[in-house]
Amino acid sequence: MTADEIAARLAQVPGWALVQGAIQKHYGFSDYHRTMAFVNALAWIAHAEDHHPDLQVSYGGCTVRFSTHSVGGLSINDFICAAKVDALLP
């Protein structure tokens, strides 16, 4: 994807940022149980889409990072999955 394509897609997924060649967003939660519920729901989406993000999980949150290894950068699928993850939360 070109820089202009990435910028246009980022505008469609608020809160996501381009960080070292991937798109990334942190989701904060009040406790570990809620964090893990989110991670499990995200895992279901990742499995259904066959597109698996890198996750950094802590007591009060999870950082989600998408990139497409097969293209060595970003693809439209990263942004589709980002939007689906966002849809998990109100």
Give the integer Cα–Cα distance in Å for 48 and 50. 6
- The number of angstroms, rounded, from the C-alpha of 52 to the middle of its chain's C-alpha atoms is 9
Q: What is the pLDDT of residues 30-89, one digit of tens each?
A: 999 999 999 999 999 999 999 999 999 999 999 999 999 888 899 999 999 999 999 999
Total tally of structural domains belonging to the chain: 1
What pLDDT does residue 70 have? Answer: 87
What pLDDT does residue 55 have? Answer: 98
Q: What is the pLDDT of residues 12-39, one digit of tens each?
A: 999 999 999 999 999 999 999 999 999 9
Query: What domain range is 73 assigned to?
Result: 3-86
Q: Output the domain CATH number for residue 81.
A: 3.30.1360.20
Residue owning tokens 């996501």: 16
What pLDDT does residue 49 have? Answer: 95
C-beta of residue 40 within 8 angstroms of C-beta of residue 50:
no
What is the amino acid identity at position 6?
I
pTM of the model: 0.94
